[in-house]
Chain A
Amino acid sequence: MTALVEIEDLTVRFSGERTVHAINGVSLSVAKGEVLALLGESGSGKSVTLKSIMQLLPGRRTQIGGRIRFDGRDVLALKGRALADFRGRDVAMIFQDPSLALDPVYSIGTQIAETVIRHEGVSRVAARSRALDMLKRVRIPSAERRLDNYPHEMSGGMRQRAMIALALACGPRLLLADEPTTALDATVQMQVLLLLRELQQEMDMSVIFVTHDIGVAVEIADRVAVMYAGTIVETGTISQIIKDPRHPYTKGLLAANLHGAVKGSRLDAIPGAPPTLEEPPTSCPFAPRCPSALPVCREARPPLVNRGPGRAVACVLEQEPAI
């Protein structure tokens, strides 16, 4: 498997009234046809990572460092027309809240057709039939009539399906999903996840799926990268992460899950709050909350320790003891 997307040492800094070091040296790679889940709590930099691939961050206040390669091309160097061609055709994105991400004044069919016309220059009739085809593929019932529906006439699950249809209309090779199931209720969430998984296999896409719900990651992902404070603390296949979490933060996340919680007892939440990131971290960002922190954790950032192919943990505890 060759890597479709390679992110090397990505740093993102927002300047303004307050400087925020949102991403501090993230390296990732996603292979063709692979689903990678970015897991982490709010503010850990998951969405920022996605948006920097799409260059959707506000240009004036953002400094991006590092390198993002898509199929060998330097994404961060794309500008103007080339960037617009890249967005939507090579990489598509679905958003957290479909009621906000669909334009309220155009029908679903028009919105999908607009994208198809933009990228493939086909006629309105052909674009419309593609839109119908996409609505059928995301299993929207009575697709012919839904084509002329406006977003406010659809349910949340249906809107998210329409959003997926819109994103996949031009057959992107990479799909960026920014918590697409968070705004949906549990049963619809499962339907959407299964649909995404199916479409991903059908179209042989790569997916970067951002979520804070480890249960969702289990359903959809091949591999997981756990993010904390703008860094990746642990990567591995989904079963490695579930069965053998190495980083104390991953362990904490798994322990905080509702499964297996005993009624009446308190949930095992991780104490403390994530750092504010006004300064780039100079020590292990998790050290203040870590139950097994050592003095060395507060002195320098922990190295990323490789433990087999595709498996890495950023923790001093993982280093081979120096003899």
Chain B
Amino acid sequence: MTFTTTPASVVIEVPAAPTVSYWAGVWHRLRRDPAALICAAILLALIFSATFAPWLGFADPYTGSMINRLKPIGTEGHILGTDELGRDMLSRLIYGGRLTLFLGITPVVTAFVIGTTLGLIAGYVGGWINALIMRVTDVFFAFPSVLLAIAISGALGAGIVNSLVSLTIVFIPPITRVAESVTASVRKLDYVDAARASGAGNFTIVRVQVLGNVLGPIFVYATSLTSVCMIISAGLSFLGLGVKPPEPEWGLMLNTLRTAIYINPWVAALPGMMIFITSLCLNLLSDGLRSAMNVRQ
């Protein structure tokens, strides 16, 4: 049995590959996904027109005209026709996008912040704090999301703020749950131990190591929730629990135009089409993001 020591040090020169940052890589992969790109373009156009609606020179969405009621698509002056009170549909759809997108995105963003915080605490601290947060979450989870939203909105009364609150409450539990499970799995990984071994305190570890690795998956999940949130908020308005007339909002428009479905079905279907297209685009985009962001190793 012989053991030998090797005295000379051996260094092999390897040229470094050009490095790309994480987000540059995501963009590179996303660029080759036509479906996601088209959806992103449609969404951007929607968001743009909704944001700048008052400056784009559309007709007033609130002024109707009794003689121009329920004009079909393609009417002179009203490209997409008019609704049951003679208001311009194109203008109402674009103005409606403002509220609908606002109601679709804001609750998810709020729930994202609150849910991520709760999930991080539960996942990182563990023990009885975890049990407390997760069991409360489970209670909310036991209700179907639409039913829960209707119940809370019903209890609070109709109105934009109330539907924002109820939708936020609906979306906190799923985000908390995802954040908790990702945090709990990240917490056990070697690099958290390594960070601790380099002198990082708990707060630093949560802020840098855990949040850095948890944010991606939660973000993707939250994007997919946006379409659900939009549909539920439209549903609340449809049921008269959300936005009140005469505000233009897709769900509410769908409800008020319901009666016109036999007279002018195409115009009546337009708000539904908008909801459908927007939520489809959100879903496909979040799908594309999910695969583009999934690069670990």
Contacts and interface: CB of A to CB of B under 8 A. Distances in A.
A105 B22 contact: yes
A85 B6 contact: no
A146 B16 CA distance: 7
B37 interface: no
Interface in B1-30: 1-3, 5-6, 9-19, 21-22
B16 A141 contact: yes
Contacts of A118: 198-200, 204
Interface residues of B, number: 40
Interface in B256-297: 295-297
B295 A152 contact: yes
A170 B208 CA distance: 19
A92 B6 contact: no
Interface string A181-221: 00000010011001100100000000000000011001100
A153 B19 contact: yes
A102 B191 contact: yes
A149 B19 contact: yes
A254 B2 CA distance: 11
A104 B296 contact: yes
B76 interface: no
A128 B22 CA distance: 19
Contact of B9 (A152, A170, A198): A198
A216 B295 CA distance: 34
Interface size class of chain A, counting residues whose CB lies under 8 Å from the partner chain: 35 or more
A131 B1 CA distance: 42
B213 interface: yes
Contact of B199 (A115, A158, A254): A115
A18 interface: no
Contacts of B13: 141
Nearest to B208: A114
B196 interface: yes
A100 B197 contact: no
B34 interface: no
A84 interface: yes
Contacts of A119: 199
B198 A88 contact: yes
A260 B3 CA distance: 11
What are the 10 closest A-B residue pairs judged by CB atoms, nearest first?
Answer: A88-B199, A88-B198, A100-B190, A93-B197, A142-B16, A101-B190, A145-B16, A101-B194, A87-B199, A218-B3
A133 B250 CA distance: 60
- Greatest chain B CB density within 10 A among A103, A163, A191, A259 is at A103
Nearest to A258: B1
30 contacts: A60-B127, A84-B201, A87-B196, A93-B197, A95-B193, A99-B297, A101-B191, A103-B195, A103-B209, A104-B191, A104-B213, A114-B208, A115-B199, A119-B199, A141-B11, A141-B16, A145-B16, A146-B16, A150-B19, A150-B22, A152-B296, A166-B198, A191-B11, A194-B10, A198-B9, A218-B5, A219-B5, A219-B6, A242-B3, A257-B1
